[in-house]
Structure 1
Amino acid sequence: MCGLAGLLRARPDADEARLTTLAGAMGDALVHRGPDDSGVWADAASGVALAHRRLSILDLSPLGHQPMSSADHRHVVVYNGEIYNFAELREVLVARGHAFRGHSDTEVLLAAVVEWGVEETLARCNGMFAIALWDRQERCLWLARDRVGKKPLYYGWAGDDFVFGSELKSLWRHPAFDNGVDRDALALLLRLDYIPAPYAIHERTFKLLPGACLRIDAATVARGATGHDPHRDQRRYWDARERMRHALAAPFAGDVLEAENRLDELLRDAVALRMVADVPVGVFLSGGTDSSVVTALMQAQSRHAVRTFTIGFERSHHDEAHLAREVAEHLHTEHTELYVSGADALAVVPTLPAMFDEPFADASQVPTALVARLARSAVTVALSGDGGDELFFGYKRYERALRNWRWLRRVPAPMRRVLAQAARGHGESSRTGGFAALAAEMGARGIGDVYRQRIARWRDPAAVVPGANLPPTFYDQPDPLQGAGTPADAMMLADFSVYLPEDLLCKVDRTSMAVSLEARAPLLDWRVAEFAWSLPLEFKRQPSESKYLLKRVLRRYLPDEMVDRGKRGFGAPVSAWLKGDLREWAASLLGPSRLRTEGHFDADAVHGIWQAFVAGERKWHTHLWNVLMFQAWHEHWRAQRRELVQP
């Protein structure tokens, strides 16, 4: 796991030292992602530079150093992630005449590009990655992101230069990067708690979509950034919707036992591939279905006790540490458990803006940061259970949305239109339940609209952000599957495409990389995903049980009483924090005069929500948390900018 950064200048000059220094500064902003090694490659004549920070996982020798050139010297790459099937690809490439000096997956990646080209190589790779590759012959830059979006990649304009990096803090190091707040992206933050790709918090700045690549040449950059939005040039080498539609058109034909056997086989291989490393490997264990499956399959394939890590919370209903302990004892893992206090959790909050460097408001970021820190004390790689809910119908909100959609379809269309019109005057009150919440769903065109009501925070965020127009996302489609599959499949696809990469995987990436820990997610192997999509819904959802097939696999390794447990989640008591230890901090950030001066929010609307919350009205803590995360981020960003422009 590593960090990458770089730039392509609009007007190249002959000062290679200056170009190297600038790229090096951009790379050094990511030292937490790669503390073991660093490197910069620059070509002043072309105006291109690539920087890399390395966290050594495979081939710890200098032969794994990046930036790395291909054997024919045509391509230079910086790369963040792991190609899990690199050994298989290497065998094929050796048979085709390629020779290798070391045993890093980076060298295999470059040889594959020489053999097959960029896009076919991406399609052959099973892994998690963000890639920046310069083609000397074509004088073009390729950016690519893995299928699921496990690894991040930002890009955009700094003045007239094209810049890119694993995190925004690398782009900030360019002296011309002073891009303001994108108000449309801010409105998305208020709705979703995060900003989904291709949008980013800064103007003229974007995120690469999962499963996408972008080709930008020197001539395009030389023509200038004005009027050019490179996010429109992103192209998908793997599209989740198309792959899901294909899987649904060719469904799994066996019975549930055959499906169980196949899933066990796929998961075993996915876990085994992610256990390959030249450094210690462990696993996050919460005691829930997903992390328990991963832990069980790791231990079943390991000659030694697997290292497991769990965070417990003192005096909290969120605590699941005892469940994890039972699983660890049954599987005979080497278990590490740490109980933390409310003060320990609150101590993380001031570090969040620097950790995420884009406003992010999923409050489970706090316990995730704590468990990542715990794991890093003993291992360099940790496996996680991310993906089980989105692939195997794990969220209770799916059931609620299906129930509401069934009810809505029974209401005559004219009555629904009247009720929907009435709901437009209720604004954010539709978030608190009752008639306003029901009426807000009446205008739903399909399951996508109903589900959006389940997951939205601010229902009309553009009304709170002056000058904003809410951009469309996957969640704005009435039917994300466009006529294929069931409403349940459509909701799972929407979460897989947006919530999973831009919330859950972002959260794990930033919190783990903040402590130089690599996190791997076996359930998100693309083969597992496509198999899950081919399954009939009843293999995932039973009347009294979600994630049915995944739990059948887990029962091969754990007794029933450790499998049949309700889902609790990995949350944080935000409401209690804002009414207690964080109240003064929140009041300062939400002060009406401050909000009016900064101008990002309708001060009266936000302060009204704060006053209602303090007075005891329900649920408003979720509305407030994403505003607070933006306010804290903005304060951090401006402080960073002032520091960077000091003479």
Structure 2
Amino acid sequence: MCAIAGLWSPRADPAEAVLQAMAATMLHRGPDDGGTWIDSGTGLGLAHRRLAIVDLSPAGHQPMQSRCGRYVIAFNGEIYNHAALRDALDAQRGGATPWRGHSDTETLLEAFAEWGFEATLQRCVGMFALALWDRQARVLQLARDRLGEKPLYYGRAGNGDLVFASELKAFAALPGWSPEIDRQAVSLFMRYACVPAPWSIYRGIRKLEPGATVRYDAADAEPVTGRYWHALSAIEAARAQPFSGSLQDAADTLEQLLGDTIRLQSMADVPLGAFLSGGIDSSTVVALMQKLGGAPVRTFSIGFNEEGYDEAQHAAAVARHLGTQHTEQYVTADEARAVIPLLPQLYDEPFGDSSQIPTYLVSKLARGHVTVSLSGDGGDELFGGYNRYFIAQALWRRLSGLPTPVRAQAATMIRLLRPVTWSKLLKPFMGLLQARYNYANPGDKLHKLAEVLALVEPRALYDRLVRFWEWDICPGVEPPDAMAADAGWDRFGGNDRFVDAMMYADTVSYLPDDILVKVDRASMAVSLESRVPMLDHRILEFAWRLPDSARASGGVGKRVLREVLARHVPTALTDRPKMGFGIPIGEWLRGPLRAWADALLDPQRLRADGYLAADLVRARWDEHLSGRRNWEYSIWNALMFQSWLEHWHGKR
């Protein structure tokens, strides 16, 4: 795992000191080695920081030049099938290639030289972001992996130079860097708790989208964008070839696919382990790792003493059953809150998923023992694991059968009582409901229901479930163009395939823009490489071949994953309500974080900054403090933006 950066100037060659400074801002991503390379007379320069994982020798040093001398690469990521690619290259070349080492970077570079850019990307199985320079044609090409595990920002500096980097902070090393905050990106962040690709928080800087490429034929040319893989096309192709076997057959196939993927992703010349929460996804990954390997797998989890937030006990039970070498750490509230001041520096642009805190803590724990850690991320999106899928589908079926005036009247009646009053009235009855409906604040859920009663189509219902603010939170900002999730929403059969549509939307938006950003920045902040076996594109394609009965139906998600896991871990150890990876942010905001939050959300300060509607923010903050509503997530978004603004732009 590494960091890349570079610039291409239409005026002069870049200074090596500038390239080094850009790379130095990302030392945490690559503490083991660094390098720069300038193509004299072209204005092109590349920089690299290396976290050595495969081939720890100098043969893995980057930027790296191809054997023919035509191509130079700066590469961040892992190509898991690079051994098979080497064999194919050797066979095509009529004998063994005189390889300098055994790094996947060298394999990838020689593949580009032999097969071309897009053809090579099509063959690759891995996670990556890269820049490839063609010295002969003077063409620069950028690419990102299919699901968006590795980040890549690109665009124009104020002087017109083309710049790119793994993290935004690298651009702060450019002379005269003075970015303009994109107010549309701020509105997107406040709505969704992240800045979705292709936007970034700065005007003129974009995120390369998953599965996408960008080509520049000159330093001052317009970018030519393309795709070598598209989630919607892959999903539609998979659905055209439905899996016809039984649930057992599906589990057999998935176990083989996951096993092959985990075997490939266990490729490393450094110590390797896995995150373990004790849930379905991480337990399945660890179980198959343990099955494939000889020695006990190193597993890691963190726990909290706060009731309702501790998964460590479940992880420990799974670890004992599987016989892993397990390490757990119980984190105090003070230790967790100590991470908050670090967040703006870790995430570069505003990021509002509060599970960023425990993700950083478990990464830090793991890094004390290993350099690579596998995770179970992706299972919810691919196999239907989120509760909101079933809640939304059931809710829409009921809503769509009611006349609009009836819905409006019901919403009015719900709003007659405050959420806290509803919660008191309903509390005696909550124990009679299924566990997934036994909410701590049922009145808050009822008021949210009132907000959706007047919606007229399922896309609006999904959007209501995933958004935290309306567009008016950012005064004077027009809503941005349609997001990537919208592009395929209507291709899933409307109301009849509502769950499929939500899973697709999460796969192309929530997963790469929130979940994978969170994991990448948190793990790389401590120089830990995180790998995600579930997100091998072949597993995604298989998942979408499955019938509902094998994925998500009857209010139960991840049926086929559960079937695989049950072969290795007793169901009693993992069959429990989904917890998520959270912390008691709502309670902390009313207690030890109140003074910090009060200062950041001061109305005069908000008005002076000019990005957020002070009256709307303050109204929610007051409601949250009083206990009338639980606005922890939307308030956290506002706090993360204000904290980021203070850190990076000196707004106090």
Under a length normalisation based on structure 2, what TM-score does the superposition of the two structures give? Answer: 0.91
- Look up the equivalent residue of 1:103 and give its one-letter code: H
3-state secondary structure, aligned to 1:270:
helix
Whether the 8 Å CA contact 1:3–1:33 is kept in 2: the answer is yes
- Look up the equivalent residue of 2:169 and give its one-letter code: K
**Separation in 1, partners of 2:86, 2:488:** 44
Partner of 1:614: 625
After the TM superposition, which residues 102-141 of structure 1 pair with which residues of structure 2 at under 5 Å, given as runs? 102-141=101-140
**Separation in 1, partners of 2:303, 2:166:** 31
How many residue pairs align between the two structures? 621
Question: Residues 448, 276 of structure 1: CA spacing in aligned structure 2 closer, same or farther, 3 A cutoff?
Answer: same
- Look up the equivalent residue of 1:164 and give its one-letter code: F
Question: Residues 578, 110 of structure 1: CA spacing in aligned structure 2 closer, same or farther, 3 A cutoff?
Answer: same
**Separation in 1, partners of 2:200, 2:541:** 29
1:473 paired to 2:483: yes
- Look up the equivalent residue of 1:131 and give its one-letter code: L
1:180 paired to 2:184: no
Q: CA deviation at 1:441?
A: 5.2
Whether the 8 Å CA contact 2:276–2:283 is kept in 1: the answer is yes
Partner of 2:471: 461
**Separation in 2, partners of 1:169, 1:478:** 33
**Separation in 2, partners of 1:57, 1:82:** 9
Q: CA deviation at 1:415?
A: 4.9
Whether the 8 Å CA contact 1:577–1:583 is kept in 2: the answer is yes
3-state secondary structure, aligned to 1:122:
helix
Q: CA deviation at 1:10?
A: 2.8
- Structure 1 stretch 472-481 or stretch 623-632: which is displaced more? 472-481
Whether the 8 Å CA contact 1:422–1:439 is kept in 2: the answer is no
3-state secondary structure, aligned to 1:486:
helix
Q: 1:62 aligns with which of 58, 61, 67?
A: 58
**Separation in 1, partners of 2:366, 2:527:** 11
Listed one character per residue, the Cα deviations across residues 135-172 of structure 1 (whole Å, up to 9, x for unaligned) are 11221211110001000001111111111100000112
Whether the 8 Å CA contact 1:41–1:49 is kept in 2: the answer is yes
Q: 2:241 aligns with which of 238, 246, 250?
A: 250
3-state secondary structure, aligned to 1:481:
helix
Q: 1:294 aligns with which of 276, 282, 285?
A: 285
After the TM superposition, which residues 272-351 of structure 1 pair with which residues of structure 2 at under 5 Å, given as runs? 272-351=263-342
- Look up the equivalent residue of 2:501 and give its one-letter code: A
- Look up the equivalent residue of 1:129 and give its one-letter code: F
1:204 paired to 2:204: yes
**Separation in 2, partners of 1:419, 1:236:** 48
Listed one character per residue, the Cα deviations across residues 549-602 of structure 1 (whole Å, up to 9, x for unaligned) are 101000111112123222111001111111111111111111111111111112
Q: 1:47 aligns with which of 37, 43, 48?
A: 43
Partner of 2:565: 554
3-state secondary structure, aligned to 2:130:
strand
Listed one character per residue, the Cα deviations across residues 55-89 of structure 1 (whole Å, up to 9, x for unaligned) are 00000000000000111111110010000000000
Q: CA deviation at 1:383?
A: 0.3
Partner of 1:442: 454
Partner of 1:627: 638
**Separation in 1, partners of 2:122, 2:513:** 22
Whether the 8 Å CA contact 2:298–2:324 is kept in 1: the answer is yes
**Separation in 2, partners of 1:478, 1:146:** 20
Q: CA deviation at 1:175?
A: 1.8
Listed one character per residue, the Cα deviations across residues 79-129 of structure 1 (whole Å, up to 9, x for unaligned) are 100000000000000112243111000011011111111111111100000
**Separation in 2, partners of 1:382, 1:246:** 32
Whether the 8 Å CA contact 2:485–2:504 is kept in 1: the answer is no
3-state secondary structure, aligned to 1:308:
strand
Question: Residues 204, 450 of structure 1: CA spacing in aligned structure 2 closer, same or farther, 3 A cutoff?
Answer: same
Partner of 1:605: 616
- Look up the equivalent residue of 2:500 and give its one-letter code: D
Q: CA deviation at 1:607?
A: 1.8
Whether the 8 Å CA contact 1:179–1:203 is kept in 2: the answer is yes
The answer for unaligned runs of 5 or more in structure 2 is 420-442
Question: Residues 284, 480 of structure 1: CA spacing in aligned structure 2 closer, same or farther, 3 A cutoff?
Answer: farther
Q: CA deviation at 1:234?
A: 2.7
Q: 1:407 aligns with which of 393, 398, 412?
A: 398
3-state secondary structure, aligned to 2:38:
strand
After the TM superposition, which residues 19-98 of structure 1 pair with which residues of structure 2 at under 5 Å, given as runs? 19-97=15-93, 98=97
Partner of 2:432: none
After the TM superposition, which residues 12-23 of structure 1 pair with which residues of structure 2 at under 5 Å, given as runs? 13=12, 16=13, 19-23=15-19
Q: CA deviation at 1:533?
A: 0.5
Whether the 8 Å CA contact 1:247–1:533 is kept in 2: the answer is yes
Q: 1:381 aligns with which of 356, 365, 372?
A: 372
3-state secondary structure, aligned to 1:222:
coil
**Separation in 2, partners of 1:157, 1:422:** 51
Q: CA deviation at 1:434?
A: 4.5
Question: Residues 469, 504 of structure 1: CA spacing in aligned structure 2 closer, same or farther, 3 A cutoff?
Answer: same
- Look up the equivalent residue of 2:471 and give its one-letter code: P
Partner of 1:222: 220
The answer for unaligned runs of 5 or more in structure 1 is 643-647
**Separation in 2, partners of 1:463, 1:191:** 8
Whether the 8 Å CA contact 1:318–1:572 is kept in 2: the answer is yes
After the TM superposition, which residues 454-533 of structure 1 pair with which residues of structure 2 at under 5 Å, given as runs? 454-458=465-469, 460-476=470-486, 479-483=489-493, 486-533=497-544
1:636 paired to 2:632: no
Whether the 8 Å CA contact 1:184–1:471 is kept in 2: the answer is no
Q: CA RMSD in A?
A: 2.4
**Separation in 2, partners of 1:168, 1:585:** 26
**Separation in 2, partners of 1:587, 1:476:** 36
